[in-house]
Structure 1
């Protein structure tokens, strides 16, 4: 006995119209309005942890043609200190980093310390919130130092790894119009603008302000309850 499937595409659509329209709407929303993103690496510790699921506001800065980098309208300008997602200018992979320098800024790094427009950031040593907020030991088991990096009114946590070979210095560069410098908060464990170059505005895919939830893969995927819905 053989089974025959003779439903036409029109009949299939008619019988599943509600579900298909919902699916199309979700795809369009994730492409153009809001998306969620799993943090896959430790490059943004201690701000973002592996296993965090972040909410990305795709219209924080620009309205784009869905599924493209074509900007239809500007909403607001990215600001220094924002955590953003973007397509890597190197290979197109989506990354999440902190926006450090704006168009027109002159930025340099000396012995891990940032200087922007002639103003040096200040660094205050702090204790990690917990071992979970340090680079996992399976990846790096030596000394990690946590600081508050402060530049003007902006302040955020960062990690340095004294025993790891890293790019801790670069000469002053002027950020061109329409481009931005991105750095990871886990400064010695991040492939960012020091390696992949500056990021054009059209490659920025959104801003991260809040987490959806977080699961700790190093602890049987148990929930990090305190991070559910937390702001970043």
Structure 2
């Protein structure tokens, strides 16, 4: 016991620093590595992203207890949240807001009766294909009410391409992955309660190419996300 007390006393500065870093990650800003292709072409496997945990709420560290409401998620926001199914931390895009009537017909989203429009993407984003699928991939710009962003569809892959119409309950959100046919999102795990949303992702900090011996992707440093 004396040895433990001595060890704590000798390292209290480091322990306070460590506790402070954990508290910051819990309440202010957290960082994650992207492990899957569910958000291609926006987020790539190997991206390191920072989630602003103060974007929507001030919470008690290490809990989901909200101390102060700051803002509400908007359509098109990329957010981190705890899965209502498993509790795992996920990153998806907000598509349906509370009260919205959302449906999908053959990949086309319809929100409150307004159909999303689609066009072939161009530029660098059009080359950012999911590496874990060898079939045909189409990179499109999806234009929703108040938001436009790129998505990938995989016409030859079995996927949930139609649902609804469903009404998003009060205090909940409908999330979809940008890699539309390779994402476990609200089509499978249901709506996401407001208190489960933990932060907003607006930038890639840096990225490591897992297919090339984890070499840095210089063009991904500080990339702003749509």
TM bracket, shorter-chain basis: over 0.9
Q: Secondary structure at the match of 2:3?
A: coil
Match for 2:196 among 203, 206, 213? Answer: 203
Alignment of 1:2-151 (within 5 A): 6-9=2-5, 11-127=6-122, 129=124, 133-136=128-131, 139-151=132-144
Unaligned runs of 5+ in 2: none
Structure with bigger gyration radius: 1
Match for 2:151 among 151, 158, 170? Answer: 158
Deviation track 1:104-127 (CA, whole Å, cap 9, x = no partner) reads: 111100110001111111000124
Instruction: Give the Cα–Cα distance (whole angstroms) in 1 for the partners of residues 24 and 140 of structure 2.
Output: 37
Q: Secondary structure at the match of 2:124?
A: coil
Aligned length: 225
Instruction: Give the Cα–Cα distance (whole angstroms) in 1 for the partners of residues 89 and 221 of structure 2.
Output: 23
Instruction: Give the Cα–Cα distance (whole angstroms) in 2 for the partners of residues 167 and 195 of structure 1.
Output: 9
Instruction: Please name the residue that 1:220 is paired with.
Output: 213
* TM-score, scaled to structure 1: 0.93
1:70 CA drift (Å): 1.3
Deviation track 1:165-223 (CA, whole Å, cap 9, x = no partner) reads: 00000121111111000000000000000000000011111000111110000112111
Instruction: Give the Cα–Cα distance (whole angstroms) in 2 for the partners of residues 33 and 152 of structure 1.
Output: 30
Deviation track 1:19-71 (CA, whole Å, cap 9, x = no partner) reads: 11100100100011100011110000000000000000111101111111111
Instruction: Please name the residue that 2:173 is paired with.
Output: 180
Contact 1:64 1:73 in 2 (8 A): yes
Unaligned runs of 5+ in 1: none
* TM-score, scaled to structure 2: 0.95
Contact 2:126 2:139 in 1 (8 A): no
1:146 CA drift (Å): 0.7
Instruction: Give the Cα–Cα distance (whole angstroms) in 1 for the partners of residues 145 and 94 of structure 2.
Output: 15
